[in-house]
Amino acid sequence: MMDQIKDAILHAAGQWWVLPLTFVLCVVDGFFPVVPSESVIVALASISGGGEGVSLWLLWLVGMAGAVIGDQIAYSMGRRIGTDRFRWMRTRTVQRAVSSARHALESHGAFVITTARFIPGGRVAVNYTAGATRFPRKWFTLLDVIAAMIWSGYSIGIGRATAGWLDNPILQILVAVVAAGVIGWIIDAVLKRIYARVLRRAQAASPAPPLVVDGDDVDSPRD
| 218 found inside a domain | no
Distance CA 28, CA 178 (A): 22
Q: Is residue 104 part of a domain?
A: yes
Q: What tens digit of pLDDT does each residue of 164-186 get? A: 665 556 666 677 667 766 776 77
What distance lies between CA 150 and its chain's CA centroid? 12
Closest residue by Cα to residue 25 from 85, 70, 56: 70
**213: in domain:** no
Please check whether residue 33 lies inside any domain of the structure.
yes
In a domain, 74, yes or no: yes
Residue ranges making up the domain that contains 71: 2-208
Q: Which tens digit of pLDDT belongs to each residue from 183-194?
A: 767 776 776 777
Strand partners, 212: 217
Q: What are all long-range contacts of 14-21, with beta carbons under 8 Å and residues at least 24 apart?
A: 14/52, 14/53, 14/54, 18/44, 18/54, 19/54, 19/58, 19/59, 19/62
Query: pLDDT tens digits, residue range 120-148?
Result: 667 888 899 899 888 899 999 999 999 99
Residue type, 162: T
The pLDDT tens digits for 48-73 are 877 778 899 999 999 999 999 999 99
Residue 144 lies in a domain: yes
Q: What is the C-alpha to C-alpha distance for residues 97 and 102, in angstroms, rounded to an integer?
A: 9
pLDDT at 211: 42
> DSSP characters for 173-213?
HHHHHHHHHHHHHHHHHHHHHHHHHHHHHHHHHSPPPPPEE
Percent of the chain with pLDDT over 90: 27
CB atoms within 10 A of CB 66: 25
Instruction: Tell me the whole-structure pTM to 2 decimals.
Output: 0.74
Q: Is 215 a member of any domain? A: no
Number of structural domains the chain divides into:
1
Q: What is the tens place of the pLDDT at every residue in 59-114?
A: 999 999 999 999 999 999 999 988 777 776 777 776 776 777 777 787 778 888 88
Q: Is residue 153 part of a domain?
A: yes
